[in-house]
Chains A and B, each alone.
Chain A
Amino acid sequence: MDTNQYLEMFLDESREHLQACNKYLLELENSPEDLTIVNEIFRAAHTLKGMSATMGYEDIADLTHIMENVLDAIRHEKLKVTAEMLDVVFEAVSYLDEMVEDIESGGDGKKDVTAIVAQLNRIEAGEPIDASNDEVAATITEDAVVTNGLHYDDFEMTVISQSLAQNFNAFEIKVTLREDCVLKAARVFMVFEILENAGDVIKSVPTVEKLEEEAFEQEFTVVLITEEEEDVIKTKVSKVSEVESVEVTAISEETLKEEKRSQEEQIVQEAKEAQQAQQVQKKETPEKNAKEAKRSRPAQAQTANRTIRVNIERLDILMNLFEELMIDRGRLQSISTEMHHPELTETVERITRVSGDLQSIILNMRMIPVETVFNRFPTMVRQLVRELNKKVDLQIIGAETELDRTVIDEIGDPLVHLIRNALDHGIEMPEERLAKGKPEVGTVKLSAYHSGNHVFIELEDDGAGVNRERVLKKAIANGLVTEEDSESLTDKQVAEFILASGFSTAETISDVSGRGVGLDVVRTTIESLGGHISIESKEGEGSLFQVQLPLTLSIISVMLVELEKEVYAVPLSSIIETAIVHTSEIMNAHSQRVIDFRGNIIPLLDLKEIFELQEAQTEQNDEYQSVVIVRKGDKLAGLIVDSFIGQQEIVLKGLGNYLTSVFAISGATILGDGQVALIVDCNALIK
């Protein structure tokens, strides 16, 4: 079977299932008694096993199979959840992760799993060696019994008993396919076609969907209501090729009654068990846990049915087309303002409104929750904490906050850096914390929230904070600041030095957060995304890193300005304000022109000089200068322009690969009149 076309789906879903495994394993670690969580993990592992076996990735299938055995044993309360055991399972999951990644990068997903398999086997056999083996065997046979004698719900029972009353026959037909059967789904289809011609299929185990997906081993059972005789059905079905055997059992009133009785008993028993389980949970964990679990699961099931997978490329194409539309909309707008034709104006206004809505929908479609980035952190933190021998509680808040796909793809690595930094340099060793009178377990809080057109991601720790003296010493040594100036710096300014390049004050270099190349890379990445990072820190109390990101990268708000009849765009995100400055207010400090802006002396840059526009040298006869005050981080600068045009939403376009990185130009856009306007990169103008 050609499996290539399914590969992408396989990868997507495997990743989802592995993430689910990780998530639930972490939950399990916190409440080891909660067997519903084990069930979730089991389910994820089981699906993964089925998928990888179908795709022919045997190592993954083998490993998940063994893992499943262990989980099954836990599920049936033959094994108790212990920390060592979870370690091994975590490791198994990370092995699986690696294998899936390998497949994604074109490998064959093979990996030597014998060691971990042996470990898992030992766990499975682990505590009560003889007992568990026997019991596993027992459960298997028990399972077989269960599949043979089907359970019916009320509705099905009524249907069967009514048909029996009308002299129809009801059969349980168990079909076993040959082991070497290649097209299982096709055989199932053929069997069903025969049966449906003969009568009505009212039930099948596994369900029809599962059968179509080939999510079954060799056999399946179907309940058929028909006028035909047992033998006829049997011979008909047996004619389908690759069918090993067909067993037909008639369902009589008696079997139904028995079934009903046993079911009632089971319900009573289940109710009892549930009650007990709840009581246990109440004791073990706060009540809300159980409630949450109950509430979240059905909700998940619902949303799963209401979404479809769309290739991100298609969304990109949609976005591109929409961008074209935006450009034409701008064009229409400018034409209509020139024409003063009321009907045209009205139509254009409508188009503007509709396309505005369209824009927010398309942008929303490209949004995915930061959860996709966040949910790999708990496992990472857990591992790091073990390596570092620290005790840390990672809290994640607002994981549902949504961000543009392109931003999400980029934000992962910087956040990893920040978290590693917080764990390694921020949180102290447990003894040290106790000595300082802090709780032994450090807290790292990762939160995300929307505000205006931005998303904020904050990482807060209650660790040591930034050591002012040590940072200043280093900053002076690196020539970032002079000794005299250093005293007047605020704590915040000092803290921001650690974002500068080549800055690591950790006395020993650890392999966790490296050599201080990390944080300036973080800053560069975030700034290249049009974002901004700031840090607040109190020595001894902890630090707070705040990352501010734009919601989307492809449509931005800009201020259009004119320079020598050419239009340039300055991103609103870097503009503080605009001002008209009288020539007499411009002062000279050395060779640099400066102005006094709300008590701060800020440098003035003439954009025309910077962009070497021809008439830059001509003396301005104007008494007033139009100045755009822009910022990069905490640094401000004023840009002199000829005039302001106004604010506009524009679609960001690249300059192409021919003009790679032009100085102080970050891209281009197409204006309403079809002209190209360049976008000024303020970050390059301020050093």
Chain B
Amino acid sequence: MTETVQQDIKKVIVFELSNKEYAIEIDVVQGIERVMAITRVPRTPSYVKGVINLRGVVTPVIDLRERFELEKKELDDNTRVIIVSLESYDVGLIVDTANDIVDVPTRSIESQPEVVGSVASDFIAGIAKVDQRLLVMLELARVLEPIGRVEAP
């Protein structure tokens, strides 16, 4: 595959959360893993599922469904962990399924319309419309704000 990505096209990874399609830019994605053993970390917000051993690196994983306050779902064979790498840390995101890479023309990204019952708007960078599909572009920096000190009660 040629790497001639033009300036006005973004490559994104598309994943599903309760039958809606979301997208994150491919640059930040380190890899997509199957679900592995997760060690719970006590006294963290419930969407922090714990930490995994990602080839020798202890990496926290969060459940995006819970992060977006969507209904819970048992992990199954389609569940994937998308490892994203932000400036100073790596985090795994648990999603229903991830199976597509799409070219999104920057022009087709619109700011998000007010929709009731969708993910809190803070987390959304915009909506992209590609071939009849609506992709919700995530604002990862907001989704993955570091978890600060959890004080003793």
Spell out A's residues near B (CB within 8 Å). Answer: 323-324, 327, 566, 610-613, 653-665, 668, 670, 674-678, 684
If the complex has contacts A665-B41, A665-B42, A668-B39, are A655 and B150 also in contact, measured as CB distance less than 8 A? no
Flag if B43 contacts A657 (CB, 8 Å).
no
If the complex has contacts A656-B89, A657-B89, A676-B52, are A663 and B58 also in contact, measured as CB distance less than 8 A? no
Overall SS of chain B's interface: loop
Q: Number of contacts between A and B (CB, 8 Å)?
A: 90
6 sample A-B contacts, Cβ–Cβ < 8 Å, listed by A number:
A656-B90, A657-B88, A658-B91, A663-B43, A663-B149, A676-B51
Choose among B37, B51, B60, B144 the residue with the greatest number of A CB atoms under 10 Å from its CB: B51
Flag if B40 contacts A566 (CB, 8 Å).
yes
B118-153 near A? 1/0 per residue, CB < 8 Å:
000000000000000000000000001011111110
B108 at the interface (CB under 8 A from A): no
The one of A611, A612, A676 in contact with B58, judged by C-beta atoms closer than 8 angstroms, is: A676
The one of B50, B51, B57, B146 in contact with A660, judged by C-beta atoms closer than 8 angstroms, is: B146
| Cα–Cα distance between A446 and B39 once the two chains are bound (Å) | 45
| Cα–Cα distance between A677 and B91 once the two chains are bound (Å) | 18
Flag if A658 contacts B89 (CB, 8 Å).
yes
| Cα–Cα distance between A654 and B88 once the two chains are bound (Å) | 13
Flag if B48 contacts A659 (CB, 8 Å).
yes
Instruction: Add 7 more A-B contacts to A660-B148, A668-B39 (CB < 8 A).
Output: A610-B42, A654-B58, A656-B60, A657-B146, A659-B146, A665-B42, A670-B56
Q: How far is the CB of B145 from chain A (nearest CB, A)?
A: 9
Query: Closest residue of chain A to B150, judged by CB?
Result: A663
Flag if B60 contacts A660 (CB, 8 Å).
no
B30 at the interface (CB under 8 A from A): no
| Cα–Cα distance between A511 and B43 once the two chains are bound (Å) | 43
If the complex has contacts A566-B40, A676-B58, A678-B41, are A658 and B53 also in contact, measured as CB distance less than 8 A? no
Q: Which 5 A-B pairs have CB atoms at the shortest separation, nearest pair first?
A: A611-B42, A657-B89, A676-B39, A658-B89, A661-B149
B79 at the interface (CB under 8 A from A): no
Flag if B44 contacts A662 (CB, 8 Å).
yes
If the complex has contacts A566-B39, A566-B40, A611-B42, are A663 and B59 also in contact, measured as CB distance less than 8 A? no
Q: How far is the CB of A553 from chain B (nearest CB, A)?
A: 16
The one of A655, A661, A684 in contact with B51, judged by C-beta atoms closer than 8 angstroms, is: A655
Choose among B44, B56, B147 the residue with the greatest number of A CB atoms under 10 Å from its CB: B56
Chain A positions within 8 Å of B52 at CB level: 676
Query: Closest residue of chain A to B145, judged by CB?
Result: A658
If the complex has contacts A661-B148, A662-B44, A668-B58, are A674 and B53 also in contact, measured as CB distance less than 8 A? yes
| Cα–Cα distance between A611 and B52 once the two chains are bound (Å) | 18
B53-65 near A? 1/0 per residue, CB < 8 Å:
1001111100000
Flag if B146 contacts A674 (CB, 8 Å).
no
Chain A positions within 8 Å of B151 at CB level: 663
Q: How far is the CB of A596 from chain B (nearest CB, A)?
A: 26
Chain B positions within 8 Å of A654 at CB level: 58
Query: Closest residue of chain A to B61, judged by CB?
Result: A658
| Cα–Cα distance between A613 and B50 once the two chains are bound (Å) | 13
Spell out B's residues near A (CB within 8 Å). Answer: 37, 39-44, 48, 50-53, 56-60, 88-91, 144, 146-152
Q: How far is the CB of A105 from chain B (nearest CB, A)?
A: 23
Flag if A662 contacts B150 (CB, 8 Å).
yes
Flag if B43 contacts A611 (CB, 8 Å).
yes
Flag if B146 contacts A612 (CB, 8 Å).
no
The one of B57, B60, B152 in contact with A658, judged by C-beta atoms closer than 8 angstroms, is: B60
Chain A positions within 8 Å of B60 at CB level: 655-656, 658-659
Flag if B37 contacts A674 (CB, 8 Å).
yes
Flag if A678 contacts B39 (CB, 8 Å).
yes
Q: How far is the CB of A391 from chain B (nearest CB, A)?
A: 47
Chain B positions within 8 Å of A611 at CB level: 42-43
Chain A positions within 8 Å of B88 at CB level: 657
| Cα–Cα distance between A610 and B153 once the two chains are bound (Å) | 10
| Cα–Cα distance between A658 and B146 once the two chains are bound (Å) | 4
| Cα–Cα distance between A662 and B89 once the two chains are bound (Å) | 16
Flag if A663 contacts B152 (CB, 8 Å).
yes
Query: Closest residue of chain B to A674, judged by CB?
Result: B53
| Cα–Cα distance between A659 and B60 once the two chains are bound (Å) | 7
Flag if B149 contacts A668 (CB, 8 Å).
no
Flag if B148 contacts A668 (CB, 8 Å).
no
If the complex has contacts A663-B149, A670-B58, A676-B52, are A658 and B42 also in contact, measured as CB distance less than 8 A? no
Q: How far is the CB of B65 from chain A (nearest CB, A)?
A: 18
Flag if B56 contacts A324 (CB, 8 Å).
yes
| Cα–Cα distance between A684 and B136 once the two chains are bound (Å) | 42
Query: Closest residue of chain A to B40, judged by CB?
Result: A566
Choose among A324, A610, A657 the residue with the greatest number of B CB atoms under 10 Å from its CB: A657
Flag if A653 contacts B58 (CB, 8 Å).
yes
Query: Closest residue of chain A to B92, judged by CB?
Result: A658
Chain A positions within 8 Å of B89 at CB level: 656-658
Flag if B58 contacts A658 (CB, 8 Å).
no
Query: Closest residue of chain A to B50, judged by CB?
Result: A676
If the complex has contacts A665-B41, A675-B37, are A655 and B148 also in contact, measured as CB distance less than 8 A? no
| Cα–Cα distance between A653 and B55 once the two chains are bound (Å) | 13
Flag if B37 contacts A659 (CB, 8 Å).
no
Chain A positions within 8 Å of B53 at CB level: 670, 674-676
Chain A positions within 8 Å of B41 at CB level: 655, 659, 662, 665, 678
Chain B positions within 8 Å of A678 at CB level: 39, 41-42, 51
Flag if B56 contacts A327 (CB, 8 Å).
yes
Q: How far is the CB of B54 from chain A (nearest CB, A)?
A: 10
| Cα–Cα distance between A589 and B96 once the two chains are bound (Å) | 49
| Cα–Cα distance between A670 and B56 once the two chains are bound (Å) | 7
Flag if A660 contacts B149 (CB, 8 Å).
yes
Chain A positions within 8 Å of B37 at CB level: 674-676
Chain B positions within 8 Å of A677 at CB level: 39
Q: How far is the CB of A653 from chain B (nearest CB, A)?
A: 5
Chain B positions within 8 Å of A323 at CB level: 56
Choose among A661, A662, A665, A677 the residue with the greatest number of B CB atoms under 10 Å from its CB: A662
Query: Closest residue of chain A to B43, judged by CB?
Result: A663
Chain B positions within 8 Å of A668 at CB level: 39, 51, 58
Chain B positions within 8 Å of A655 at CB level: 41, 51, 58, 60
| Cα–Cα distance between A511 and B91 once the two chains are bound (Å) | 47
Chain A positions within 8 Å of B150 at CB level: 661-663
The one of B42, B59, B91, B148 in contact with A612, judged by C-beta atoms closer than 8 angstroms, is: B42
Chain A positions within 8 Å of B152 at CB level: 663-664, 684
Flag if B42 contacts A675 (CB, 8 Å).
no
Chain B positions within 8 Å of A613 at CB level: 40, 42
If the complex has contacts A656-B90, A675-B53, are A612 and B39 also in contact, measured as CB distance less than 8 A? no
Chain B positions within 8 Å of A663 at CB level: 42-43, 149-152
Q: How far is the CB of B46 from chain A (nearest CB, A)?
A: 11
| Cα–Cα distance between A660 and B152 once the two chains are bound (Å) | 15
If the complex has contacts A613-B42, A674-B37, A675-B37, are A659 and B147 also in contact, measured as CB distance less than 8 A? yes
| Cα–Cα distance between A654 and B89 once the two chains are bound (Å) | 11
| Cα–Cα distance between A658 and B48 once the two chains are bound (Å) | 10
Chain A positions within 8 Å of B39 at CB level: 566, 668, 675-678
Q: How far is the CB of B57 from chain A (nearest CB, A)?
A: 8
Chain B positions within 8 Å of A662 at CB level: 41-44, 147, 150
Query: Closest residue of chain B to A321, judged by CB?
Result: B56
Query: Closest residue of chain B to A651, judged by CB?
Result: B56
Query: Closest residue of chain B to A657, judged by CB?
Result: B89
| Cα–Cα distance between A610 and B42 once the two chains are bound (Å) | 8
If the complex has contacts A655-B51, A668-B51, A676-B58, are A612 and B43 also in contact, measured as CB distance less than 8 A? yes
| Cα–Cα distance between A658 and B47 once the two chains are bound (Å) | 13
Chain A positions within 8 Å of B42 at CB level: 610-613, 662-665, 678
